[in-house]
Structure 1
Amino acid sequence: MVFSELFAPSRTIMTPGPVEVDPRVLRAMSTPILGQFDPAFTNIMNQVMEMLRQVFQTKNRWAFPIDGTSRSGNEAILCSIIEPGDRVFVPIYGRFGHLLVEICERYGAEVHSMECPWGEVFDPQMVIDEMNKVKPKIVAIVHGETSTGRMQPLKEIGKACREGDILLVVDAVASIGGVQIKTDEWYIDGMIGGTQKCLSVPSGMAPITYNERIENILSARKKVERGIATEEDLQFSRSRQAIASNYFDLSMLQDYWGPRRLNHHTEATSMIYALHEGLRLILAEGLEQRFERHKLHEKALIAGLEAMGLSLFGDPKHKLPCVTCVEIPKDVDGESVRNMLLEQFSIEIASSFGPLHGKIWRIGTMGYSCRKENILSVLGALEAVLIRHGVNVHRGAALQAALDVYNVERLADFSFKKLS
């Protein structure tokens, strides 16, 4: 059997991940391979750590990627700090809260959870009140929930966790690099990001950061396992059970990413190149400017969808700026619409999960996919496909509404530049 040369069609990817990769990142991935302990490569690793600190908005010593998809970052932090019988509290407002529960249970935690309807988020005080009842060692929560397009406020929860000496671990896979999230200011002890969303890097790495509160647990666990723990160490860990995962053991990964450079695994060299370039581009754009760009294109998308006559799903006050959830019109086959968008226009949008499956579409505006031409393309194509499916849309209104947003923003930007 003869196999043909690899071919991947060109797509406009407007899902909540993966997203289109910046061409400059793709070029960086073709950089020649270096040995993982070559000084030239370890220098690149150090630069990645420093850029991650800036993107995470933290002064933490530790900020590095886990080789694996976003889920690997969640597992690495949680498995490294959970000891059998530890109480973990997980507020759930979408699919990925359930994932945190599963990971914690697999490592022997006693998990307590609370839920709110999909499409809503928690009043922070509700979480704090429940947390005070449960008295957990760890609170694990999602910041940007892509399954519902909502974003949970964290600042008050983080402050309460710190005051109660509770560790706060945050899944920021969908939000890092696209919306404001302040690791230190919000008292986040451990945070997980993803490359394939707002960072616009291929899937395959999970950038993480954690502070000395977590580092103390890692150090104490290692000493307890070796039988050399002091009384101070025993305040952080009393378990003699080794961390279940070798691959995700953060104490071992510290030795790999730190100055000792002890071999743990063979680093994914080309992915480090990709992450380096993706982070460099974010910092060159500027975090605040990048956040504003995501808000602008979200605004244009929403204006177009509503002008078309479609309804948005979920609590608008807590909408995740880089994911827009659209209610599927009555009697319309949502999958048929998605298939036609892909087949006829090479545009991909997403469906959803669980109770929202078949009820909403999710349109991602993340990273490099978050561009004016993409917004206009998806609006024009969606209108055409809905007409083909017999939906009575307001023809031509969507693109005009989006263009109005861009025109107003352009004029405002021009006026500001003239004044300054």
Structure 2
Amino acid sequence: MAPEVFAEIDPPQRLLMGPGPVNAHPRVLRAMSADLLGQFDPEMTAYMNEVMALYRPIFGTQNQQTFLVDGTARAGIEAALVSLVAPGQTVLVVDFGRFGLLLGEILARIGARIETVSAPWGQVVELDAIEDALKRVRPSLVATIHGDTSTTMAQPLEGFGALCRKYGALSYVDATATIGGMELAADRWAVDVVSGGLQKCLGGPSGSAPITLSEAAAERIFARRHVERGIVRDDLDDGEGPRIGSNYFDLAMVMDYWSDKRLNHHTEATTMLYGARECARIVLQEGLENRCARHRAAGRAVTAGARALGLEVFGDHRHRMSNVTGLVIPAGVDGEAVRRRMREDFQIEIGSAFGPLQGRLWRIGAMGYNAAKHKVLITLGALETVLRAEGFAAPAGVAVEAALAAWNAELSA
């Protein structure tokens, strides 16, 4: 019996207005259709060098060690943590949502001693609370999320890295949900390691994780191994504990691959590198300030339109992300029925929520290629129609009008 042959892939053309992924920019998709090259071809290594140069301004850094980890955004997170932290070392996790919990899950697998400083979902952790925890636990690393899409909150980072250094700790920031849409200032913030992903504000597909490391972070990682006759050996007497417990996510080896040494580590994901390179080119051509302003306009338009409909916007408004907005599901409305109608009747995807917020929130993302005025207006117009069909007394036409006014006011300010 012949094996079944499935039909050609032909997905629906959905407008992805959830917390990510979002629709990829057409230029990124075109770049990813280019021919493959060998991993040591001089054209390929030139592209690698260009990627490093392109992502430094996006991270707000001069770090030499700025490159890609092959894998989704979580690959960048795991590579950073497994390379920086040895079993038994103390790590302070800044926890204000689902992805703070994820940091703890990864660190537990490494065997770290985990301490947390937390805030309720919908709030952020104040710098004073982080300092109190630093004094108390004296960690080797402090890890936080920048924008946690589970709660739509953005943790303030001005002064964060300097505070960690004051107490002898390195700092790590997961900027998956904010890179390319909200300001990143790794050098000004004195943050040691920042990682991200393509699939949100950068407007690419999931599968590549940009990362940047300070000299201090790189030195700690390189100190955890030595090379004897060209072979990496355990070095248990260097004060840093066992060698990095992963081969693929060993950033010491990955950094050697991205350096002029070009030491073989893995076969670089050529197509993803092309996509990541084009994402960065688009960001820099638009300009970082213009891009952040566009994301702010999109977020404020979503907020204004939702409030005009009579919906409550979730969380501490002083610290909301500009690119993802949480809307409280009104009493008596079936949240999943609304999402289903949005998808089936309008081909628009909006997000649900995690954990204690499951069934309580919708999350609307307007980021990257989708942080566009017409896409926000289409989404809000569809949401109004669906809410009315579900029995919610939404005023006719007000969402689009309010969103349009908010968009124009933000960009003309």
For normalisation by structure 2, the TM-score amounts to: 0.95
Q: 1:55-74 maps to which residues of 2 (within 5 A)?
A: 55-74=58-77
Counterpart code for 1:7: D
Deviation at 1:75, TM superposition (A): 0.7
* AA at the equivalent of 1:353: F
Distance 2:164 2:403 in 1: 42
Q: Distance in 2 between matches of 1:321 and 1:403?
A: 16
**Matched residue, 1:134:** 137
Contact preservation (8 Å) 2:235, 2:243:
no
Separation of aligned partners in 1, 2:19 and 2:250 = 29
2:260 corresponding residue in structure 1: 259
- Secondary structure at the aligned position of 1:64 is classed as strand
CA contact (8 A) 1:87 1:138 kept: yes
Residue in structure 1 matched with residue 212 of structure 2 by the alignment:
209
In 2, the alpha carbon distance for the partners of 1:253 and 1:177 equals 24
Matches within 5 A, 1:1-400: 1-223=4-226, 226=233, 234=238, 237-239=239-241, 241-400=242-401
Q: Distance in 2 between matches of 1:142 and 1:343?
A: 33
**Distance across 2 between alignment mates of 1:402 and 1:81:** 44
| Aligned-pair CA distance for 1:2 | 3.6
Cα distance in 2 for residues equivalent to 1:409 and 1:132: 41
Q: Could you say which structure has the higher helix fraction?
A: 1
Give the conservation status (yes or no) of the 8 Å contact 2:234–2:243. Answer: no
Deviations, residues 42-90 of structure 1 (Å, cap 9, x unaligned):
1001000111111101011101111111111111011111112100010
Separation in 1, partners of 2:96, 2:355: 12
Q: Distance in 1 between matches of 2:222 and 2:355?
A: 40
Q: Secondary structure at the match of 2:163?
A: helix
Q: Deviations over 1:19-62 (max 9, x none)?
A: 11000111111111111111011100100011111110101110
In 1, the alpha carbon distance for the partners of 2:37 and 2:282 equals 22
Contact 2:348 2:379 (C-alpha < 8 Å) held by counterparts: yes
What's the CA shift string for 1:264-307, capped at 9, x where partnerless? Answer: 11111111111111100000000011000101111111111111
SS class of match (1:104): helix
Where 2:69 maps in the other structure, the secondary structure is strand
* Alpha-carbon distance in structure 1 between the residues aligned to 2:248 and 2:233: 19
Distance 1:406 1:6 in 2: 36
- Contact kept in structure 1, 2:16 and 2:349, CA below 8 Å: yes
1:402 CA displacement:
1.6
Change (3 A) 1:397 1:218: same
Kindly state the Cα deviation for residue 226 of structure 1 after the two structures are TM-superposed: 4.2
Q: Is the 8 A contact 1:158 1:168 kept in 2?
A: yes
One-letter identity of the residue aligned with 1:392 = A
Would you say the 8 A contact 1:189–1:214 is kept in 2?
Answer: yes
Structure 2 letter corresponding to 1:288: E
Cα distance, 1:406 vs structure 2? 3.8
Secondary structure of residue in 2 paired with 1:175: coil
- Change in Cα spacing, 1:3 to 1:298, as seen in structure 2 (3 Å) is same
Q: Give the letter for the 1:377 counterpart.
A: I
The 8 Å contact of residues 300 and 407 in structure 2, kept in 1 or not, is answered as no
Matching residue's letter, 1:219: F
Matches of 1:160 and 1:121, distance apart in 2: 17
Which amino acid letter does the alignment assign opposite residue 163 of structure 1? K
**Mean Cα deviation higher: 154-163 or 9-18:** 154-163
What code does the residue aligned with 1:404 have? Answer: A
Paired positions, count? 406
Check whether the contact 1:192–1:209 (CA below 8 A) recurs between aligned residues: yes
Alpha-carbon distance between aligned partners in 2 of 1:298 and 1:256, rounded to the nearest angstrom: 39
Q: Deviations over 1:224-268 (max 9, x none)?
A: 974789xxx94xx442x2211100001110111111111111111
Tell me the secondary structure at the aligned position of residue 78 of structure 2.
Answer: helix
Residue 155 of structure 1: SS of its match in structure 2? coil
Runs of 5+ unmatched residues, structure 2: none
Q: 1:244 to 1:310 in 2, by over 3 A?
A: same
The question of whether the paired residues in 2 share the 8 Å contact of 1:28 and 1:274 is answered with: yes
1:106-139 Cα shifts (integer Å, max 9, x gaps) = 1111001132210011111111111111110000
2:402 is the counterpart of 1:401: yes
- 2:14 maps to a residue whose letter is R
* Rounded Cα–Cα distance in structure 2 between residues aligned with 1:55 and 1:408: 26
C-alpha separation in 2, matches of 1:67 and 1:100: 19
Distance in 1, matches of 2:247 and 2:409, equals 54
* Alignment partners' CA distance in 2, 1:409 and 1:121: 25
Q: Any stretches of 5+ residues in structure 1 without a counterpart?
A: 414-420
Determine what percentage of the aligned residue pairs are the same residue. Answer: 48
Q: CA RMSD in A?
A: 1.6
For residues 190-227 of structure 1, what are the alpha-carbon distances to aligned partners after superposition, in whole Å with 9 as ceiling and x for unaligned?
A: 11111111111100011111111111112211139747
Q: Is the 8 A contact 1:128 1:157 kept in 2?
A: no
Q: In structure 2, how many angstroms separate the alpha carbons of the residues matched to 1:404 and 1:228?
A: 62
